[in-house]
Amino acid sequence: MNLRTLTQALAAVAAAGGLAACATVSPPAVALYAMDCGRITLADADAFADDGAYKKVAKTLVVPCYLVRHPRGDLVWDTGVPQSIADLPGGAAPGGLTVARKLTDQLAQLGLAPADIEYVSISHSHFDHIGNAGLFAGSTWIVDAKERAYAFRPEARTNAQQFAAYSALETARTVLIEGDAAHDVFGDGSVMVIPAPGHTPGHTVLLVRPARAAPVLLTGDLWHIAESRAARRVPRFNVDRAETLRTMDKVEALARETGATVVRQHVPEDFAALPRFPQALR
Protein backbone atom coordinates (compact mmCIF):
# COMPACT_ATOMS: atom_id res chain seq x y z
CA MET A 1 0.00 0.00 0.00
CA ASN A 2 1.50 3.35 -1.01
CA LEU A 3 1.41 6.45 1.21
CA ARG A 4 -1.49 8.05 -0.64
CA THR A 5 -3.60 4.91 -0.37
CA LEU A 6 -2.76 4.58 3.32
CA THR A 7 -3.73 8.19 3.98
CA GLN A 8 -7.04 7.74 2.17
CA ALA A 9 -7.74 4.58 4.15
CA LEU A 10 -7.04 6.30 7.45
CA ALA A 11 -9.31 9.18 6.51
CA ALA A 12 -12.10 6.77 5.62
CA VAL A 13 -11.75 4.94 8.93
CA ALA A 14 -11.79 8.20 10.87
CA ALA A 15 -14.79 9.55 8.99
CA ALA A 16 -16.68 6.38 9.78
CA GLY A 17 -16.03 6.95 13.48
CA GLY A 18 -13.39 4.22 13.87
CA LEU A 19 -10.88 6.49 15.55
CA ALA A 20 -9.46 3.81 17.80
CA ALA A 21 -8.53 1.72 14.77
CA CYS A 22 -5.89 4.31 13.87
CA ALA A 23 -4.10 3.89 17.19
CA THR A 24 -1.59 1.36 15.87
CA VAL A 25 -0.52 3.52 12.91
CA SER A 26 2.68 5.50 13.48
CA PRO A 27 1.80 9.21 13.27
CA PRO A 28 3.96 11.85 11.59
CA ALA A 29 6.00 14.32 13.60
CA VAL A 30 3.07 15.99 15.36
CA ALA A 31 3.80 18.40 18.22
CA LEU A 32 1.33 20.00 20.65
CA TYR A 33 2.08 23.37 22.28
CA ALA A 34 0.00 24.63 25.22
CA MET A 35 -0.09 28.44 25.42
CA ASP A 36 -1.37 30.47 28.36
CA CYS A 37 -4.11 32.80 27.09
CA GLY A 38 -5.44 34.06 30.41
CA ARG A 39 -7.19 33.32 33.68
CA ILE A 40 -10.77 33.68 34.89
CA THR A 41 -11.16 34.19 38.65
CA LEU A 42 -14.63 33.37 39.97
CA ALA A 43 -15.87 34.48 43.37
CA ASP A 44 -18.87 32.16 42.98
CA ALA A 45 -18.73 29.23 40.55
CA ASP A 46 -22.41 28.32 41.03
CA ALA A 47 -23.18 28.58 37.31
CA PHE A 48 -20.82 25.70 36.55
CA ALA A 49 -22.99 22.98 38.13
CA ASP A 50 -26.77 22.75 38.04
CA ASP A 51 -26.81 20.68 41.24
CA GLY A 52 -25.61 23.57 43.41
CA ALA A 53 -22.24 21.92 44.14
CA TYR A 54 -20.25 25.10 43.50
CA LYS A 55 -22.57 27.64 45.09
CA LYS A 56 -20.42 30.35 46.76
CA VAL A 57 -17.28 28.35 45.90
CA ALA A 58 -14.37 30.40 44.50
CA LYS A 59 -12.49 28.92 41.52
CA THR A 60 -9.78 30.01 39.14
CA LEU A 61 -9.96 28.74 35.57
CA VAL A 62 -7.02 28.70 33.18
CA VAL A 63 -7.72 29.83 29.61
CA PRO A 64 -5.44 27.93 27.24
CA CYS A 65 -4.77 28.16 23.53
CA TYR A 66 -3.16 25.30 21.65
CA LEU A 67 -0.93 25.02 18.61
CA VAL A 68 -0.63 21.73 16.76
CA ARG A 69 2.33 21.56 14.38
CA HIS A 70 2.18 18.97 11.62
CA PRO A 71 4.37 18.49 8.55
CA ARG A 72 1.40 19.61 6.44
CA GLY A 73 0.65 22.76 8.38
CA ASP A 74 -0.23 24.36 11.70
CA LEU A 75 -3.55 24.37 13.57
CA VAL A 76 -4.52 26.79 16.34
CA TRP A 77 -7.18 25.27 18.60
CA ASP A 78 -9.07 27.75 20.79
CA THR A 79 -7.88 31.35 20.89
CA GLY A 80 -8.52 32.52 24.46
CA VAL A 81 -9.93 35.77 25.79
CA PRO A 82 -9.07 38.97 23.88
CA GLN A 83 -5.33 39.49 24.13
CA SER A 84 -5.86 43.27 24.33
CA ILE A 85 -6.54 42.70 28.04
CA ALA A 86 -2.78 42.37 28.45
CA ASP A 87 -2.48 46.09 27.59
CA LEU A 88 -4.78 47.16 30.45
CA PRO A 89 -3.37 48.14 33.86
CA GLY A 90 -2.22 44.95 35.56
CA GLY A 91 -3.36 42.96 32.53
CA ALA A 92 -6.81 42.77 34.13
CA ALA A 93 -10.36 43.40 32.92
CA PRO A 94 -13.76 43.36 34.66
CA GLY A 95 -15.20 39.93 35.33
CA GLY A 96 -12.03 38.50 36.84
CA LEU A 97 -10.19 38.27 33.50
CA THR A 98 -6.42 38.52 33.35
CA VAL A 99 -3.96 38.06 30.50
CA ALA A 100 -0.25 37.98 31.27
CA ARG A 101 1.02 37.39 27.74
CA LYS A 102 -0.49 37.85 24.30
CA LEU A 103 -1.18 34.91 22.02
CA THR A 104 0.65 36.64 19.17
CA ASP A 105 3.74 37.08 21.34
CA GLN A 106 3.77 33.38 22.15
CA LEU A 107 3.44 32.45 18.48
CA ALA A 108 6.25 34.88 17.67
CA GLN A 109 8.48 33.00 20.09
CA LEU A 110 8.18 30.08 17.65
CA GLY A 111 8.78 32.34 14.66
CA LEU A 112 5.09 32.39 13.71
CA ALA A 113 2.50 35.08 13.02
CA PRO A 114 -1.27 34.54 12.61
CA ALA A 115 -0.83 34.76 8.83
CA ASP A 116 1.40 31.66 8.98
CA ILE A 117 -1.31 29.46 10.51
CA GLU A 118 -3.04 27.22 7.96
CA TYR A 119 -5.99 26.14 10.14
CA VAL A 120 -7.94 27.53 13.07
CA SER A 121 -10.62 25.69 15.02
CA ILE A 122 -12.48 26.32 18.26
CA SER A 123 -14.14 23.96 20.67
CA HIS A 124 -17.06 26.42 20.68
CA SER A 125 -17.88 30.09 20.28
CA HIS A 126 -17.92 31.37 23.88
CA PHE A 127 -15.81 34.52 24.35
CA ASP A 128 -12.97 32.77 26.17
CA HIS A 129 -12.40 30.38 23.27
CA ILE A 130 -13.02 32.65 20.29
CA GLY A 131 -11.67 35.92 21.72
CA ASN A 132 -8.75 36.22 19.28
CA ALA A 133 -10.15 34.20 16.39
CA GLY A 134 -10.43 37.22 14.10
CA LEU A 135 -6.63 37.31 13.95
CA PHE A 136 -6.81 34.07 11.95
CA ALA A 137 -9.29 35.17 9.29
CA GLY A 138 -6.68 34.27 6.67
CA SER A 139 -6.60 30.66 7.89
CA THR A 140 -9.06 27.91 7.01
CA TRP A 141 -11.67 27.76 9.77
CA ILE A 142 -12.76 24.24 10.74
CA VAL A 143 -16.09 24.44 12.57
CA ASP A 144 -19.19 22.41 13.27
CA ALA A 145 -22.00 23.72 11.06
CA LYS A 146 -24.31 24.13 14.06
CA GLU A 147 -21.65 26.10 15.94
CA ARG A 148 -21.06 28.45 13.04
CA ALA A 149 -24.79 29.18 12.93
CA TYR A 150 -24.78 29.69 16.71
CA ALA A 151 -21.81 32.08 16.55
CA PHE A 152 -23.52 34.24 13.92
CA ARG A 153 -27.06 34.15 15.28
CA PRO A 154 -28.74 37.55 15.81
CA GLU A 155 -28.28 37.43 19.60
CA ALA A 156 -24.52 36.96 19.23
CA ARG A 157 -24.26 39.98 16.96
CA THR A 158 -25.83 42.26 19.57
CA ASN A 159 -22.74 42.07 21.81
CA ALA A 160 -20.64 44.31 19.60
CA GLN A 161 -17.39 43.97 21.55
CA GLN A 162 -17.41 40.18 21.72
CA PHE A 163 -18.68 39.79 18.16
CA ALA A 164 -15.91 42.02 16.80
CA ALA A 165 -13.32 39.57 18.16
CA TYR A 166 -14.32 36.94 15.60
CA SER A 167 -16.63 38.57 13.05
CA ALA A 168 -13.91 38.39 10.37
CA LEU A 169 -14.37 34.60 10.31
CA GLU A 170 -17.74 35.05 8.65
CA THR A 171 -16.02 35.42 5.27
CA ALA A 172 -13.03 33.15 5.97
CA ARG A 173 -12.36 29.93 4.09
CA THR A 174 -14.42 27.42 6.02
CA VAL A 175 -14.64 23.66 6.39
CA LEU A 176 -18.00 22.72 7.89
CA ILE A 177 -18.38 19.60 10.01
CA GLU A 178 -21.86 18.19 9.53
CA GLY A 179 -23.44 15.29 11.36
CA ASP A 180 -21.59 13.08 13.85
CA ALA A 181 -18.51 12.21 11.79
CA ALA A 182 -15.10 13.39 12.97
CA HIS A 183 -13.05 15.68 10.74
CA ASP A 184 -9.52 14.52 9.93
CA VAL A 185 -7.55 17.77 9.72
CA PHE A 186 -4.46 16.43 7.92
CA GLY A 187 -5.90 13.26 6.39
CA ASP A 188 -3.80 10.81 8.38
CA GLY A 189 -5.72 10.31 11.63
CA SER A 190 -3.25 12.31 13.73
CA VAL A 191 -5.48 15.33 14.46
CA MET A 192 -9.24 14.84 14.65
CA VAL A 193 -11.97 17.41 15.37
CA ILE A 194 -14.83 15.45 16.95
CA PRO A 195 -18.43 16.64 17.45
CA ALA A 196 -19.27 16.82 21.17
CA PRO A 197 -22.49 18.86 21.49
CA GLY A 198 -24.41 19.86 24.59
CA HIS A 199 -22.46 22.76 26.06
CA THR A 200 -23.26 24.61 22.84
CA PRO A 201 -25.02 23.20 19.76
CA GLY A 202 -21.80 22.49 17.87
CA HIS A 203 -19.22 22.05 20.62
CA THR A 204 -16.25 19.88 19.58
CA VAL A 205 -13.23 18.19 21.14
CA LEU A 206 -9.80 17.59 19.61
CA LEU A 207 -7.89 14.30 19.51
CA VAL A 208 -4.16 14.78 18.92
CA ARG A 209 -1.72 11.91 18.39
CA PRO A 210 1.83 13.17 19.02
CA ALA A 211 4.66 11.23 17.44
CA ARG A 212 5.87 9.55 20.64
CA ALA A 213 3.61 10.53 23.53
CA ALA A 214 0.18 9.06 24.25
CA PRO A 215 -2.79 10.62 22.44
CA VAL A 216 -4.32 13.71 24.02
CA LEU A 217 -8.00 14.70 24.13
CA LEU A 218 -8.55 18.44 24.48
CA THR A 219 -12.11 18.58 25.79
CA GLY A 220 -13.08 22.25 25.51
CA ASP A 221 -15.82 23.06 28.02
CA LEU A 222 -17.06 19.54 28.60
CA TRP A 223 -15.73 19.92 32.17
CA HIS A 224 -14.72 23.36 33.49
CA ILE A 225 -13.80 22.27 37.02
CA ALA A 226 -11.73 19.25 38.07
CA GLU A 227 -14.44 17.58 40.16
CA SER A 228 -17.04 17.93 37.42
CA ARG A 229 -15.72 15.01 35.39
CA ALA A 230 -16.16 12.28 38.01
CA ALA A 231 -19.40 13.81 39.28
CA ARG A 232 -20.80 14.32 35.75
CA ARG A 233 -21.82 17.86 36.61
CA VAL A 234 -23.48 19.99 33.95
CA PRO A 235 -23.25 23.81 33.95
CA ARG A 236 -26.50 25.72 34.31
CA PHE A 237 -25.88 27.51 31.02
CA ASN A 238 -25.41 24.47 28.76
CA VAL A 239 -27.86 24.43 25.86
CA ASP A 240 -28.83 20.74 26.27
CA ARG A 241 -28.30 18.80 29.50
CA ALA A 242 -29.18 15.35 28.14
CA GLU A 243 -26.94 15.83 25.13
CA THR A 244 -24.10 16.96 27.40
CA LEU A 245 -24.33 13.70 29.35
CA ARG A 246 -24.35 11.67 26.13
CA THR A 247 -21.25 13.55 25.00
CA MET A 248 -19.53 12.83 28.31
CA ASP A 249 -20.13 9.12 27.71
CA LYS A 250 -18.85 9.42 24.13
CA VAL A 251 -15.65 11.19 25.15
CA GLU A 252 -14.96 8.82 28.05
CA ALA A 253 -15.36 5.87 25.67
CA LEU A 254 -13.04 7.48 23.15
CA ALA A 255 -10.42 8.07 25.87
CA ARG A 256 -10.57 4.39 26.84
CA GLU A 257 -10.39 3.17 23.23
CA THR A 258 -7.43 5.36 22.28
CA GLY A 259 -5.59 5.45 25.61
CA ALA A 260 -5.73 9.24 25.41
CA THR A 261 -4.87 11.60 28.22
CA VAL A 262 -7.95 13.72 28.91
CA VAL A 263 -7.25 17.43 29.29
CA ARG A 264 -10.01 19.38 31.01
CA GLN A 265 -9.02 22.60 29.34
CA HIS A 266 -9.92 25.09 32.09
CA VAL A 267 -8.44 23.01 34.92
CA PRO A 268 -5.10 24.52 36.05
CA GLU A 269 -3.53 21.20 37.04
CA ASP A 270 -4.30 19.64 33.64
CA PHE A 271 -2.73 22.63 31.89
CA ALA A 272 0.31 22.48 34.19
CA ALA A 273 0.79 18.77 33.42
CA LEU A 274 1.53 19.59 29.78
CA PRO A 275 5.04 20.71 28.74
CA ARG A 276 5.64 24.34 29.66
CA PHE A 277 5.66 26.58 26.60
CA PRO A 278 7.72 26.85 24.46
CA GLN A 279 8.37 23.16 25.03
CA ALA A 280 6.03 20.80 23.18
CA LEU A 281 4.45 17.39 23.66
CA ARG A 282 5.86 15.22 20.88
Q: Look at residue 49 and tell me whether its pLDDT is greater than 70.
A: yes
Q: What is the pLDDT of residues 9-39, one digit of tens each?
A: 334 434 444 444 344 444 579 999 999 999 9
Per-residue pLDDT reduced to its tens digit, 196-227: 999 999 999 999 999 999 999 999 999 999 99
Q: Element (H or E) spanning 98, and its range?
A: strand 97-98
- The answer as to whether 278 is a domain residue is no
Q: What is the pTM of this model?
A: 0.90
Three-state secondary structure call for residue 236: coil
pLDDT at residue 88, rounded to an integer: 98
State how many domains the chain has.
Answer: 1
Q: Is residue 252 part of a domain?
A: yes
DSSP 242-274: HHHHHHHHHHHHHHHHHTPEEE-TT-HHHHHTS
279 lies in a domain?
no
pLDDT in tens, 110-123: 999 999 999 999 99
Q: What whole-number distance in Å separates Cα of residue 263 and Cα of residue 260?
A: 9
Mean pLDDT of 66-81: 98
CATH number at residue 54: 3.60.15.10
Domain limits for position 48: 3-272
First to last CA, the chain: 26
DSSP state of 281: B
Q: Give yes or no for a contact between 241 and 234, defined as CB atoms under 8 angstroms apart.
A: yes
Query: Which run of H or E residues covers position 129?
Result: helix 127-130
135-188 tens-digit pLDDT: 999 999 999 999 999 999 999 999 999 999 999 999 999 999 999 999 999 999
Residue 204 lies in a domain: yes
Among residues 72, 162, 160, 159, which one has the least CA distance to residue 117?
A: 72
